[in-house]
Amino acid sequence: EVQLVESGGGLVQPGGSLRLSCVASGFTFSNYAMSWVRQAAGRGLEWVSAISGSGGSTYYADSVKGRFNISRDNSKNTLYLQMNSLRAEDTAVYYCAKGTPLYGPFDPWGQGTLVTVSS
Amino acid sequence: EVVLTQSPGTLSLSPGERATLSCRASQSVSSRSLAWYQQKPGQAPRLLIYGASSRATGIPDRFSGSGSGTDFTLTISRLEPEDFAVYYCQQYGSSPPVSFGQGTKLEIK
């Protein structure tokens, strides 16, 4: 069974940093692009970032470019999102999602991890 | 970047009725690059349709997708109680960015 499990969310002050992780199982991780998608409370889905299977290509939404960094460790079947210079508007549930096999559609998604940016 | 506009914002129907949800793109989109997702409260989105009209694994055949160019439709032929949720369309391609519509909430009338 394909499974994605996120962790690393929490409460952080504006300007702070946080690193999210997503552990994958049930498929050959290095063969698939992966993405991060976020959802603020009561709002829609916003694509944040994506990375190729090898890790050689990375992509970012304009809203996070220069502040967030996506990476992966294929030996550990783990996807990461390093979030720096966090702002209140970054508050959301962050989901990791598996490409099929590239940058969409996404199937499946993890259960999400909540990031709250507040003083 | 492609902007997707979904309509209506909220759709109120009864179980057994037919639901028709619309997704309009700001520019022509390849039919291979349009997906639909279902999201229930407190859950992650679930892939329903990809390539505009192909059902994902395990999706009941009451769900169908159609359309081309800039206009796409998700149809639920006979609503079951578990179908009441929020639905999102998505445009994707061989490389990002990826776009989502703002969602349509399907509620029980």
Mean pLDDT, rounded, for B56-83? 97
Could you tell me if B56 lies within 8 Å of chain A, comparing CB atoms?
yes
Confidence of residue B31 (pLDDT cuts 50, 70, 90): confident
- Chain B residue whose CA is closest to A59: B96
Using a pLDDT cut of 70, give the percent of chain B over it: 100
**Chain B partners of A5 at a C-beta cutoff of 8 Å?**
none
**Chain A partners of B90 at a C-beta cutoff of 8 Å?**
45, 104-106
Average pLDDT, whole number, for chain B? 96
Instruction: Decide if B92 and A103 are in contact by the 8 Å CB cutoff.
Output: yes
Could you tell me if B9 lies within 8 Å of chain A, comparing CB atoms?
no
DSSP for A91-113 reads: -EEEEEEEESSSS-SEEEE---E
What's the pLDDT score for residue B94?
A: 84
